[in-house]
Amino acid sequence: MLIMALLLTLLQYGQLDLRLRHDLNTRTHMIARAATAAVVFRDKRDAADILRAFEDAPDVRSARLVWPDGSEFVAYARAQDSSSWLQRHAGDTTARANVVANGTVQAQLVVSASRSGLWLALLGIMGGALAIMLVALAFTRFLSRGLRAKVRHAEDRTQYLAHHDALTGLVNRVAFSGELEHALAQAMRQRHGASLMCVDIDNFKQVNDTHGHGAGDAALQAVASRLSALVRTSDVVARLGGDEFAVLLHAPVAEDVVQYIAVAMTEEPCTYLTPTGATLQVTTSIGVAMLPRDASEADAAMRCADVALYHVKRQGKNGYAVYAPDMGEALRQRRRTEQDLRAALKQDQIALAYQPIYDRDGRLRSFEGLARWNHPERGWIAPSEFIPIAEEAGLITGLGLACLNRLHCDLGQWRRAGLPAVAVALNLSSHQFRGEEDRRAFLDKLDALALGPEEVEFELTETAVFEDMDKPESIVNILQTRGFELALDDFGTGYSSLAYLLRLRCRKLKIDRIFVDGIATRADARLLVDSVVRVAHAIGMVVVAEGVEAAADQACLMELGCDLFQGFGLSRPLPPDQAARCLADHARDVRVFAFGAAATLST
Ligand code: C2E
Ligand code: CA
Ligand code: CA
């Protein structure tokens, strides 16, 4: 900008100088012409009068008419005091014009003028340029300051986002790792314990799937603020991703304080409001590592807290556990089982055991098909071990399909052997139909295997049914519309609300074996079963007693009006060939017991 201003000034100087000379020259020539007569007639007074015309031109400092020999004829000089300081010091420029008469030069007019006008104009221009420059400079400064503030703000924001979770405002995984390392180093130095908690929302996927992502976000925020409220400001609460949180309690922190926080967090569910205005609750599970006792490095500390968390999940969630070395082995074992199960589904290692269900006359009415896993090394594995793993590892959909395939094979064999057909009830898990594609795959498989209501029924636990029931695309609705019979499984262990029964259109209600076992001598169980049977019958449901082991219990259940009976006392779950024999007996109308003769039950 300065260079531009200098160039501009230089250019202006050239132009002004040119104009000054031109003006002075023109004026000098005019006056010289006007002075011709006075020169020719040697009239000094007239000549002096003419030269006085320069008085109007303030820059002109002197004017002289000189003869060709150089002697002076007349001169005009401006008084020193009437000229300004600038006029005196700005330097002069001179113009000459000949006074010509009859073609000969009579005299010469020499005019000297101050260059002050030029400098004044130049100063004006320079001043203007300077003012513009200053304004521009101030403006640029103002702009750049605003810009710098914006850049700084953007930098701060980027820095914040790099270290925080946008949804909850908590520290993120990256920043948390740094904090953890720092806390570990400090705990090692001070020989005081710090603590790391891994916190996980129970069944978070279900919240998202059932109530939408808005509800999921609200649940995350509720857990975040609950955790933050429980710890000191010096402690760190982080969201590691998904529904995983971590809490770092700086040293010194005693184990009972850690326990207090863990209990406070898990004792009561976190209540939150969904975007649709519904009030919901979530529970959490917490794994704790005491530092540096359990680990002296950040990665190992996270692993320990994770292992403890896994332990809690396996124990049924919504609780906490402090890491113990033997938990690691259990986790490894579980991971192995998960891997093996993945392979088992591909290698057709899943079979079904068929447990007969009898009516009041001891006739076979149906089977319950129960999944069995024939592990190549471990032999038969019970569903109580692998179903929860399948549910957690997302393998339950595949397991459900494997059961349908297996049932189709077994039914085919029985049919080819000319055995009578009875329906087989398969168990469905609430984890089995989380996604639309899971439902589709299941229904497509039923179609592909041509399994209809004659061949298969389904058992769902209360929890599974109630979770599913309100969805428009509910599997319960779809199966019922297709005519499949549904049984409400394990009744009494879930919501256990008789009012719910009215909303359902399940055909069967299976009373859980915790009420059946010892009912003959338990008045409370009798009271409960009695009222359940009454309500169920009133709304047209068939009541199945599960886990019937003792003859006395069965007699009592009969008295209370139960319609169907299943249990080790009547028959254990049978492999397909033995189930075939059971069907053959059924064809010959062999009864396991006769009504009123439950004492024939093998116990
Ligand atoms: P469940 O649906 O309640 O099945 C009945 C369980 O009770 C079976 O255990 C059966 O063997 C057992 N049981 C039957 N009678 C008696 C008795 O008199 N006394 C005792 N103590 N137990 C009896 P199982 O086969 O070990 O199955 C356990 C659970 O695993 C089942 O409980 C069911 O929830 C689940 N399950 C089994 N197969 C499948 C499957 O194919 N899919 C799904 N999603 N779950 C399955
Ligand atoms: Ca069942
Ligand atoms: Ca059951």
- Residues 131-152 have pLDDT tens digits of 888 888 888 888 888 888 888 8
Q: What is the pLDDT of residue 602?
A: 45
Q: What is the pLDDT of residue 417?
A: 97
Q: Is the confidence at residue 334, as pLDDT, over 50?
A: yes
**Band of residue 153 on the pLDDT scale cut at 50, 70, 90:** confident
- Atom 16 in ligand 1: which residue has the minimum CA distance? 547
Per-residue pLDDT, averaged over 566-579, amounts to 97
Q: What is the pLDDT of residue 371?
A: 98
Q: Is the confidence at residue 553, as pLDDT, over 90?
A: yes
Q: What are the pLDDT digits (tens) for 41-73?
A: 999 999 999 988 888 888 888 999 999 998 999
Range with lowest mean pLDDT among 61-70, 355-364, 566-575: 61-70
Residues touching ligand 1 (Cβ under 6 Å) are 355, 370-371, 382-384, 387, 403, 426-429, 459, 489-490, 513, 547-549, 566-569, 573
Mean residue pLDDT of the chain comes to 90
Q: What is the pLDDT of residue 495?
A: 64
Q: Ligand 1, from 373, 387, 548, 571: best to mutate by most atoms within 8 Å of Cβ?
A: 387
Q: Crossing angle of helices 396-416/576-587, nearest 10°?
A: 50
Residue 314 vs residue 220, higher pLDDT = 220
State phi, psi for 186 to the nearest 5 degrees. Answer: -65, -45
Q: From the CA of 83, how far away is ligand 3's center (Å)?
A: 121
- Contacts for 283 with CB less than 8 Å, ≥ 6 apart: 201, 202, 266, 269, 270, 317, 318
Q: Is the confidence at residue 448, as pLDDT, over 80?
A: yes
- Atom 27 in ligand 1: which residue has the minimum CA distance? 383
Q: Tokens 């980027």 — which residue?
A: 158
Q: What is the pLDDT of residue 603?
A: 41
Q: What is the pLDDT of residue 472?
A: 65
The runs of H, that is alpha helices, within 322-435 are 325-346, 383-392, 396-416
d(CA 151, CA 32): 71
β pairing state of 379-381 and 320-322: unpaired
164: which DSSP letter? B
Q: What is the pLDDT of residue 299?
A: 92
Q: What is the pLDDT of residue 587?
A: 94
State phi, psi for 466 to the nearest 5 degrees. Answer: -70, -30
The environment of the single-atom ion ligand 2, i.e. residues with CB closer than 5 A, is 427, 459, 489
Please classify residue 339 by burial: count the beta carbons closer than 10 Å to its beta carbon, then call 0-12 exposed, 13-18 middle and 19+ buried: exposed
Q: Which of 175-189, 313-327, 394-408, 491-505 has maximum average pLDDT?
A: 394-408
Q: Is the confidence at residue 316, as pLDDT, over 70?
A: yes
Q: What are the pLDDT digits (tens) for 204-219?
A: 988 888 888 999 999 9
- Ligand number with the minimum distance to the CA of 458: 2
Question: From edge to edge, which strands make up the β-sheet containing 244-249?
Answer: 236-241, 244-249, 194-201, 284-291, 320-322
- Residue 299 in tokens: 């990665």
- What is the value of pTM for the model shown? 0.62
- Contacts for 473 with CB less than 8 Å, ≥ 6 apart: 436, 439
Given a contact cutoff of 8 angstroms between Cβ atoms, the answer to whether 385 and 337 are in contact is yes
CA nearest to 582, candidates 366, 292, 361, 264 = 366
Q: Is the confidence at residue 313, as pLDDT, over 70?
A: yes
Given a contact cutoff of 8 angstroms between Cβ atoms, the answer to whether 499 and 539 are in contact is no
Q: From the CA of 510, how far away is ligand 3's center (Å)?
A: 7
Q: What is the pLDDT of residue 269?
A: 93
Q: State the closest ligand 1 atom to the C-alpha of 566, by its place in the atom list counted from 1.
A: 15
Q: What are the pLDDT digits (tens) for 460-519?
A: 987 777 666 666 678 888 999 999 999 999 988 866 667 777 777 789 999 999 999 999
Q: State the closest ligand 1 atom to the C-alpha of 573, by its place in the atom list counted from 1.
A: 11
Q: What is the pLDDT of residue 469?
A: 67
Q: Is the peptide bond before 383 cis (omega within 30 degrees of 0)?
A: no
- Atom 10 in ligand 1: which residue has the minimum CA distance? 573
Q: State the closest ligand 1 atom to the C-alpha of 372, by its place in the atom list counted from 1.
A: 38
d(CA 496, CA 214): 30
- Contacts for 541 with CB less than 8 Å, ≥ 6 apart: 501, 506, 507, 508, 509
